[in-house]
Amino acid sequence: PMRKRSAVLLGVSLVLGAFNADAREPSEKDRRAVLEARTRLINAMASDDLEALFAVLTTDHVTMPPDGPSMSNSKELRAWHEQRISAYAISGNWTSEDLQLQGDWAIDSWRGLTILTSRGGGSRIEMMTKGVWFWRRGPDGTWKLARSIWNGDSQGARAVQR
């Protein structure tokens, strides 16, 4: 029994050691690269540039918007963005409150003001939002957004007359 237990512990240690061997210690260069990818994402959203937006997403990206179904990096997600672009211009400030890096993953907890301006001349919607963006470093070393989750704060949105 003791010999078997030791063999199991040794096996588990070897597996965990091999897993952790691939995890690189994040550097300041990694942190800057994630923040640069984050800036490209925000600029693409603000300029309604779908090609630039999708270039920052992983091929298996999943968006989880509030009060709606999850969408993967697909025709469905593209149609969702096209519908938003036709109805609203988006702007705001989404500030990273905490950026944690571990190996090839970065977790970006953010908060900010989201402003949706109606393209049809209606009221502007302002809402405090918060979310988490999960970034993943690809084999080529570039950081892309793998998961996007966000929601509004409890006060909800408020319409602002122009």
Give the integer Cα–Cα distance in Å for 25 and 106.
Answer: 12
The larger pLDDT score, comparing residue 24 to residue 146, is at 146
What average pLDDT is seen over the chain? 85
DSSP at 120: T
How many whole angstroms separate alpha carbon 90 and alpha carbon 94?
Answer: 12
The model's pTM: 0.79
Whether the pLDDT of residue 65 is over 80: the answer is yes
Q: What is the mean pLDDT of residues 123-128?
A: 91
Kindly state the tokens that stand for 119: 């393209």
Residue 5: how many CB atoms within 10 A of its CB?
Answer: 9
pLDDT digits (tens, 9 = 90+) for 23-54: 556 689 999 999 999 999 999 999 999 999 99
CB 109 within 8 A of CB 96: yes
- Output the CA–CA distances (angstroms, integers) from residue 103 to 3, 20, 84, 139, in the order listed: 34, 9, 34, 12
Query: Which DSSP string corresponds to 23-34?
Result: -PPP-HHHHHHH
How far is Cα 97 from Cα 109, in angstroms, rounded to an integer?
A: 6
For residues 98-110, give the mean pLDDT.
96
% of the chain residues with pLDDT over 90: 70
